[in-house]
């Protein structure tokens, strides 16, 4: 009898907990729904008013920057807080997930046709084309951005048929970061030709230091490197997009670029088992001074201000452009660069007008561009000349010079040029090629196959 | 009594919660999955019905699929023939030790399964590292330098991944066999001792046969679990380098959520379920035929 | 006399070797925890670079403070506890009812029902992510506690039912028959007679279900939207940057996440012995 009572008691408690939480969530949901309905009515009334509205509005922001205390996430949060302060009727709800989780959740949202109002997107065909084509993104008014100083060409990846669907957050340049102290201590100077780079690799290998660290596990850095070689070999930034568009990679330069890349790798240029090294591992290998170079995008300029990195590395970071292979037609100032991450607004958003207003606020040059540059976070996609303080880290200065002197810019890396399926296949192939599992001819022909 | 035990209302009330939950969270999604398996769908826009096209591609045009299936089955065999015997031995040893040690070992051996898989995977990637990892360092230390290898390069990756997966399941396997060992009546051992049975023979003639039902359960679970392996593989190598360490569940995930080939990914999951069912049926047959005593 | 002495001595030595060997294995098993704790006291830039274990100098206890505060550990811990307790209790209860119905009650579809429910074990979770999300979206269940409870319980049931029914087979029907003679209804039989004897099964199922859902992340991140119901595995995310992350603090978070699970496991570990010996004495 006692046991029976205990069991019944347990059940009652269970049901009680269940009903409390159920009621709680139901009423909260009801409140949310009412707020949404209210805000929908409001936005229809306050149409194109630019001043702060008075009806409460909730904007959902879905971002791939979970860390709100450093880097881009920090900047984003600051701008959000500022906006909410200036517009007290607006509440911005944030859902933040990192890269992989972000993409999975993104698919969940599109499949249920229920996207958040403002969301992170990548302005590259592999990601954004299907999204735009399915009509998920709201069209933005080009005239709004006349004074925003977007670098020419940066909006291309976010547009279709002359209409803009998103705005880029940063300009990414692929560079070789290097440890100035390790170079200086061993009498090694910055290479300007490919042959010199081979020599540098040999010297570091002899010293037992990995010449260059790369994130081989995530595969895309390897695809970017291949694109870098294509650019550096031909000096022609139309070859790749045209070939992808024509679904034809028969141009002999593709194989030549692969061969050149293979030659570099075969000098033991990368760390051992680089395909097991993920982003964090490869970055820390460099940050710990165990690798002399780190092949990564310009967003890593923030390493110079990252206190978790030992001082003697942090204060000695430089960057140089990957040299051109011998006999190349490119100039040393040709760069591998593109515009990747950005934001867009959902077409079906119940608070579309307010969301676009918020989006435009983020991109006001004094908000994102200034914050990104002056805090050493990343290179914005807008002109930042007026925000140069003269106090930039050396890496920042080098990168700025590279960008301002650039004679040619590669554009979207190969893996992001085609369909999403092509993205994963090309990345897989890049990894297989880099580890020597397939040779350059097979690599190019399989890429070609994947395009069809 | 018979009436009581076949009362329809009572039966319904007993199984209702389970059936509702199951239908909602498992059955309906799987049926939807079956439907999507016959479409071309990127997770956005509209699914386009393509009939058996995905399955044709899966069977005739997708070497990675077969590789991942092979790897998963290899893992299953590894579980059954390597992991389980070790678990069984340790279950018996832990039981034998008794006293305070028994409790300690029982807990200690299970610890890796309490921590999140993300930690375990990071740790192993680290241990396999050529320059700084534990394995190569130990080999150097005991003078077997020439056995050092890049454990995660194309030649060795599969073995390394299999090793980690087999190691990881040790805790669970041991626990279940341990429960089985504990369930054997002490009296049987005493009777056997009186009859003159000693050491190994006791295990051979008493323990093992009485553990048959537990073994059967565990083996079936092992094969299914081998097919389901996803998180660990994803975190360790993500199927790489290339597709040397691709496993079925991981491949499914990649196709569905990375390549935006959601329809294709679902076709894989339908095949997955079929393979599991086949495996269960075959195992049942095997075990029935051994129950002849 | 001599004979006995030799025997116990060799037995003692044998035992020492046995325990020694098992301790070595135990160290191997405990290593991941040591590794995790070690690096949780390092700086983010120290991880994944060189040595297998380091002596952080100085130990960054601040990582734990950061983890606790910025990782919203208290809030997520509370959610985790509620979700997991409900999941475990519900799974155990429902498994028992179903297992009893399918093994003891007499009806035509008993075997088939069991078969279908066990089929649940063969379903890859990722295949159900999108369909479930669409379903929950339509029913406005996303971002509610049910978005977690329903799939967690549903996926834990097949295993639970499997184990319950295996254990049930070991319980003689005589007890039930006697109870019926005494005029007991089915529910009384289940809760007064069967329930107490199923302790080992219930504990095993509790451990399995708890551990599976305590560290579960994929389903939680797909079905939840806001911070309201997020569970502990999300804490790690708060320190994840777009590419690189604050690894050391993430490790601290993972230690904090593992602690309650360890405590629960060690507590239940005690119960296993009690449950099993009770069963052994009775049977």
pLDDT in tens, C51-60: 667 777 788 8
Matching residue, tokens 């709100």: A68
Q: Do B228 and C131 touch (CB under 8 A)?
A: no
Residues 6+ apart with CB under 8 A from B118: B235, C236, C254
Q: Tokens representing B218?
A: 């565990």
DSSP state letter for A123:
-
**Per-residue pLDDT, B216:** 78
Q: For residue B86, how many other CB atoms are within 10 A of its CB?
A: 16
Per-residue model confidence (pLDDT) at position C5: 54
Q: What pLDDT, in 10s, does the model give residues A114-165?
A: 899 999 999 988 899 989 999 999 999 999 998 899 988 889 889 999 999 9
Q: Decide if A66 contacts A371 (C-beta within 8 A).
A: no
> Are the C-beta atoms of A251 and A239 separated by less than 8 Å?
yes
For Cα atoms A158, A254, B150, give the angle at the middle one, nearest 5 degrees: 95
d(CA B72, CA B79): 10
Q: What is the DSSP letter of B193?
A: H
Instruction: Looking at the complex, report in whole angstroms how far the Cα of residue A131 sits from the nearest Cα belonging to chain B.
Output: 7
Interface test with A, best of C150, C243, C250 (most A CBs within 10 A): C243
Contact of C86 with chain B, judged by CB distance below 8 Å, is answered with: no
Per CB-CB distance under 8 Å, the chain A contacts of C129 are: 104, 108
- Residue-level pLDDT at B1: 65
**What's the whole-number average pLDDT of chain B?**
85
Residue boundaries of the structural domains of chain A = 49-170+340-387, 172-338+393-451
Within 8 A by CB and 6+ apart from A338, the residues are A124, A157, A171, A172, A409, A410, A411, A412, A413, A416
Dist. CA C77–CA C72, nearest whole Å: 8
Q: Which of A275, A421, A423 sits opposite B240 (nearest CB)?
A: A275
Higher per-residue pLDDT: A452 or A261: A261
Whole-number Å distance between alpha carbons of A329 and A235: 5
CATH match of B64-290 with 1.10.3720.10: yes
C105 interfaces chain B, CB cutoff of 8 Å: yes
Res. A323 pLDDT band, cuts 50 70 90: very high
3-state DSSP of chain C: CHHHHHHHHHHHHHHHHHHHHHHHHHHHHHHHHHHHHHHHCCCHHHCCCCCCCCCCCCCCCHHHHHHHHHCCHHHHHHHHHHHHHHHHHHHHHHHHHHHHHHHCCCCCCHHHHHHHHHHHHHCCHHHHHHHHHHHHHHCCCCCCHHHHHHHHHHHHHHHHHHHHHHHHCCCCCHHHHHHHHCCCCHHHHHHHHHHHHCHHHHHHHHHHHHHHHHCCCHHHHHHCCCCCCCCHHHHHHHHECCCCECHHHHHHHHHHHHHHHHHHHHHHHHHHHHHHHHHHHHC
* pLDDT tens-digit series, residues B106-119: 889 988 988 888 88
- Which residue of A100, A275, A426, A433 is the best one to mutate when testing the B interface, meaning the one whose CB has the most B CBs within 10 A? A275
* Predicted confidence (pLDDT) per residue in A209-248, tens digit: 999 999 999 999 999 999 999 999 988 888 998 999 899 9
B94 contacts on C by Cβ (under 8 Å): 22
pLDDT given for residue C143 in this prediction: 83
Highest mean pLDDT among A318-322, B196-200, C100-104, C179-183: A318-322
Phi, psi (rounded to 5 degrees) for C69: -80, -60
Structure confidence at residue A438 as a pLDDT band (50, 70, 90): very high
Tokens representing C250? Answer: 């993430």
Q: Which CATH superfamily is domain A172-338+393-451 in?
A: Periplasmic binding protein-like II (3.40.190.10)
pLDDT tens for A369-402 read 999 999 888 899 998 888 888 888 889 999 999 9
pLDDT confidence band for C121 (50 / 70 / 90): confident
Q: What pLDDT is stored for residue A35 in this prediction?
A: 37
CA distance linking residue B37 with residue B270, whole number of Å? 7
Alpha-carbon distance A136 to A344, whole Å? 10
Q: How far is CA A256 from the centre of its chain?
A: 28
pLDDT one-digit tens code per residue, A247-263: 999 999 999 999 999 99
**Rounded CA separation A204/A293 (Å):** 10
Cα-flanking dihedrals φ and ψ of residue A334, to 5°? Answer: -80, 140
Look at residues A116, A134, A136, A132 and name the one whose alpha carbon lies nearest to residue A124: A132
Percent above pLDDT 70 for chain C: 92
- A419: pLDDT strictly greater than 60: yes
Average pLDDT over residues A269-291: 90
Q: Could you give the CA distance from residue B159 to residue A400 in angstroms, rounded to a whole number?
A: 47
**Concatenated DSSP letters of B64-115:** HHHHHHHHHHHHHHHIIIIIHHHHHHHHHHHHHH-HHHHHHHHHHTTGGGTS
pLDDT digits (tens, 9 = 90+) for B150-190: 888 888 889 999 999 999 989 888 887 887 777 676 777 77
- Which among B150, B180, B165 is positioned nearest to B231, based on CA atoms? B165
Q: How far apart are CA B186 and CA C277, in angstroms?
A: 11
Q: Would you say C40 and C251 are in contact if contact means Cβ atoms under 8 Å apart?
A: yes
* Cβ contacts of C21 within 8 Å, gap of 6 or more: none
- Vertex B273: Cα angle to B270 and B274 (nearest 5): 90
- C238/A67 CB distance under 8 A: yes
Question: What's the CA gap between A363 and A369, in Å, rounded?
Answer: 7
For residues C191 and C193, give the distance between their C-alpha atoms in angstroms, rounded to a whole number.
6
Tokens of B180: 């089985």
pLDDT of residue C195: 84
Contact C86, A17 (CB under 8 A): yes
Within 8 A of A442 by CB-CB distance, chain B residues are: none
pLDDT of B145: 78
Considering the segment(s) A49-170+340-387 as one domain, its CATH architecture is: 3-Layer(aba) Sandwich (3.40)
Count the alpha carbons within 13 Å of B283 in the hemisphere toward its beta carbon: 20
Check pLDDT > 50 for residue B47. Answer: yes
Between A56 and A52, the more confident residue is A56
* Per-residue model confidence as pLDDT tens digits over C204-229: 889 889 988 999 988 998 899 888 89
Tell me whether the omega of the peptide bond preceding residue C58 falls within 30 degrees of 0, making it cis: yes
d(Cα C184, Cα A6) in Å, to the nearest integer? Answer: 18
- Is the pLDDT confidence value at A333 over 80? yes
Contact B128 A103 (CB under 8 A): no
The tokens describing A287, both together, are 């940050």
B277 touches chain C (CB under 8 A): yes
Identify whether the C-beta of residue A402 lies closer than 8 Å to the C-beta of residue A173.
Answer: yes
pLDDT value of residue B290: 66
Tokens of A300: 């890593």
- Cβ-based contacts of A309 with chain C (< 8 Å): 45
> Contact at 8 Å (CB) between B138 and B128?
no
Whether the Cβ atoms of residue A272 and residue B150 lie closer than 8 Å to each other = yes
In chain A, what residues touch C93 (CB-CB under 8 Å)? 11
Give residue B291's pLDDT: 60
Tell if the CB–CB gap between A288 and C49 is shorter than 8 Å: yes
Chains that touch B (3 or more CB pairs under 8 A): A, C
Q: Do C242 and A308 touch (CB under 8 A)?
A: no
Q: In this complex, is the C-beta atom of A287 within 8 Å of any C-beta atom belonging to chain C?
A: yes
For domain C76-235+262-282, the CATH architecture is Orthogonal Bundle (1.10)
C202/B contact by beta carbon, under 8 A: no
CA angle A232, A233, A236 (to 5 degrees): 75
Return the residue matching tokens 């949202």: A109
pLDDT at position C273:
57
Q: What is the pTM of this model?
A: 0.85
- CA–CA distance, B129 with B125 (Å, rounded to integer): 6
Q: Which of A435-449, B238-252, C113-127, C179-193 has the highest mean pLDDT?
A: A435-449
Residue bearing the bigger pLDDT, B61 or B192: B61
Which chain C residue is nearest to residue B101, measuring alpha carbons?
Answer: C19
Cβ separation C32–B28 shorter than 8 A: no
Task: Give the E-state strand segments of A258-378 in sequence order.
Answer: 291-297, 317-320, 334-335, 337-339, 341-345
Closest CB from C107, C126, C211 relative to B253:
C126
Q: Determine how many CB atoms are found less than 10 A away from the CB of residue B196.
A: 7
Sequence-ordered alpha helix ranges (H) in B144-211: 157-168, 170-182, 186-194, 199-202, 208-210
Percent residues over pLDDT 90 in chain C: 27
| Structure-token match 């059936």, residue found | B19
C197: which residues sit within 8 A by CB, 6+ positions away? C171, C279, C282
Residue range B11-23: mean pLDDT, rounded: 90
In 3D space, the residue among A261, A407, A267, A270 whose CA is nearest the CA of residue A325 turns out to be A261
The residue-averaged pLDDT of B57-84 equals: 92
pLDDT higher than 60, residue C6:
no
**Cα(C2)–Cα(B180) distance, integer angstroms:** 38
Interface contact flag, A421 B261, Cβ < 8 Å: yes
pLDDT at C49: 63
Residue of A nearest to B129 (CA): A273
CB contacts, 8 Å: C276 with chain B: 179, 182-183
């Amino acid at each position: 009898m006692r046991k029976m009572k205990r069991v019944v008691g347990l059940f009652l408690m269970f049901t009680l907990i269940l009903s409390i939480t159920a009621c709680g969530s139901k009423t909260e949901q009801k409140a949310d729904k009412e707020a949404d309905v209210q805000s929908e009515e409001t936005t229809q009334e306050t149409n194109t008013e630019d001043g702060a509205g008075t009806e409460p509005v909730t904007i959902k922001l879905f971002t791939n920057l979970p860390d709100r205390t450093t880097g881009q996430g920090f900047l984003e949060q600051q701008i959000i807080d500022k906006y909410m302060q200036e517009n007290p009727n607006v509440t911005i709800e944030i859902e933040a997930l990192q890269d992989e989780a972000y993409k999975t959740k993104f698919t969940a949202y599109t499949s249920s046709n229920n996207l958040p109002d403002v969301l992170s997107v990548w302005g590259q065909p592999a990601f954004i084309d299907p999204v735009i084509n399915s009509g998920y993104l709201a069209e933005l008014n080009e005239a709004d951005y006349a004074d925003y100083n977007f670098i020419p060409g940066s909006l291309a990846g976010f547009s279709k048929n002359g209409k803009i669907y998103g705005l880029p957050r940063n300009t990414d340049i692929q560079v070789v970061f290097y440890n100035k102290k390790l170079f200086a201590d061993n009498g090694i100077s910055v290479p300007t030709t490919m042959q010199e780079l081979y020599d540098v690799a040999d010297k570091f290998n002899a010293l037992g230091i990995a010449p260059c660290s790369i994130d081989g596990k995530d595969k895309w850095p390897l695809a970017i490197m291949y694109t870098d070689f294509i650019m550096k070999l031909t000096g022609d930034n139309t070859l790749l997009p045209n070939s992808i568009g024509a679904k034809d990679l028969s141009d002999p330069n593709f194989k030549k670029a692969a061969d050149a890349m293979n030659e570099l790798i075969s000098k033991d240029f990368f760390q051992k088992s680089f395909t097991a090294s993920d982003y964090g591992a490869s970055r820390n290998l460099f940050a710990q001074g165990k690798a002399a170079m780190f092949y990564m995008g310009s967003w890593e300029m923030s390493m110079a201000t990252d206190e978790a990195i030992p001082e003697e590395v942090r204060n000695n970071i430089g960057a140089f452009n990957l040299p051109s292979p011998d006999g190349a037609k490119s100039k040393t100032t040709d760069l591998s660069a593109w515009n990747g991450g950005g934001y867009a607004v959902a077409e079906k958003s119940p608070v579309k007008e307010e969301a676009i207003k918020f989006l435009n606020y983020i991109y006001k040059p004094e908000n994102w561009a200034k914050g990104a540059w002056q805090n050493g976070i990343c290179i914005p996609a807008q002109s930042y000349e007026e925000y140069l303080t003269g106090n930039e880290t050396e890496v920042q200065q080098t990168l700025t010079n590279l960008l301002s002197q650039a004679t040619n810019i590669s554009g979207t890396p190969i893996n992001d040029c085609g369909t999403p399926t092509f993205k994963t296949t090309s990345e897989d192939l890049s990894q297989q090629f880099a580890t020597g599992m397939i040779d350059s001819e097979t690599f190019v022909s399989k890429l070609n196959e994947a395009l069809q | 009594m018979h009436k009581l035990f076949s009362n329809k209302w009572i039966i319904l009330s007993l199984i209702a919660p389970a059936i509702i939950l199951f239908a909602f969270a498992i059955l309906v999604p799987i049926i939807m999955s079956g439907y999507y398996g016959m479409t071309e769908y990127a997770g956005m826009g509209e699914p386009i019905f393509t009939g058996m096209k995905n399955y044709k591609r899966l069977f005739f045009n997708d070497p990675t699929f077969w590789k991942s299936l092979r790897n998963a089955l290899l893992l299953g065999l590894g579980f059954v023939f390597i992991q389980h015997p070790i678990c069984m031995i340790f279950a018996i040893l832990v039981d034998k030790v008794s006293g305070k040690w028994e409790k300690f070992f029982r807990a200690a051996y299970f610890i890796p399964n309490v921590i999140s898989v993300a930690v375990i995977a990071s740790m192993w990637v680290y241990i396999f590292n050529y320059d700084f990892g534990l394995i190569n360092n130990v080999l150097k230390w005991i003078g077997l330098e020439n056995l050092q290898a890049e454990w995660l390069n194309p030649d060795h990756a599969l073995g390394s991944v299999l090793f980690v997966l087999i190691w990881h399941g040790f805790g669970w396997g041991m626990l279940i066999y341990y429960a089985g060992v504990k369930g054997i009546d002490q009296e049987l051992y005493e009777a056997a001792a009186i009859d003159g049975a000693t050491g190994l023979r006791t295990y051979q003639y008493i323990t093992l046969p009485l553990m048959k039902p537990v073994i059967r359960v565990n083996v079936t679970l092992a094969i299914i679990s081998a097919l389901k392996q996803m998180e660990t593989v994803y975190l360790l190598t993500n199927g790489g380098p290339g597709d040397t360490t691709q496993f079925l569940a991981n491949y499914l995930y990649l196709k569905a959520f990375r390549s935006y080939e959601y329809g294709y990914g679902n076709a894989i999951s339908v095949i997955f379920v079929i393979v599991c069912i086949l495996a269960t049926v075959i195992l049942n047959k095997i075990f029935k035929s051994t129950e002849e005593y | 006399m001599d004979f006995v002495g030799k025997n116990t001595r060799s037995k003692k030595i044998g035992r020492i070797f046995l325990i020694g060997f098992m301790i070595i294995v135990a160290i191997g098993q405990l290593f991941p925890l040591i590794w995790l704790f070690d690096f949780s006291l390092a700086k983010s830039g120290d991880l994944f670079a060189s040595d297998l274990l380091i002596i952080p100098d100085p130990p960054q206890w601040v990582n734990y403070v950061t983890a606790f505060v910025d990782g919203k550990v208290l809030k997520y811990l509370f959610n985790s506890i509620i979700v997991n307790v409900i999941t475990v209790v519900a799974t155990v209860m429902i498994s028992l009812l179903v297992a009893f119905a399918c093994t003891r009650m007499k009806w035509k579809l008993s075997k088939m029902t069991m078969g279908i429910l066990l089929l649940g074990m063969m379903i890859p979770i990722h295949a159900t992510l999108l369909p479930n999300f669409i379903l929950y979206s339509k029913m406005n269940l996303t971002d509610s506690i049910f978005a977690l409870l329903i799939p967690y319980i549903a996926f834990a049931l097949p295993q639970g039912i499997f184990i319950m029914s295996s254990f049930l087979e070991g319980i003689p029907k005589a007890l039930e028959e006697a109870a019926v003679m005494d005029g007991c209804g089915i529910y009384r039989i289940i809760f007064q007679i069967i329930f107490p004897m199923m302790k080992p099964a219930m504990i095993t199922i509790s451990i399995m279900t708890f551990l599976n859902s305590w560290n579960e992340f994929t389903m939680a991140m797909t079905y939840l939207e806001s911070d309201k119901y997020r569970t502990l595995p999300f804490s790690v995310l708060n320190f994840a940057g777009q590419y690189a992350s604050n690894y050391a603090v993430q490790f601290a978070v993972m230690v904090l996440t593992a602690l309650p699970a360890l405590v629960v496991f060690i507590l239940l570990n005690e119960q296993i012995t009690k449950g099993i010996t009770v069963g052994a004495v009775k049977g």
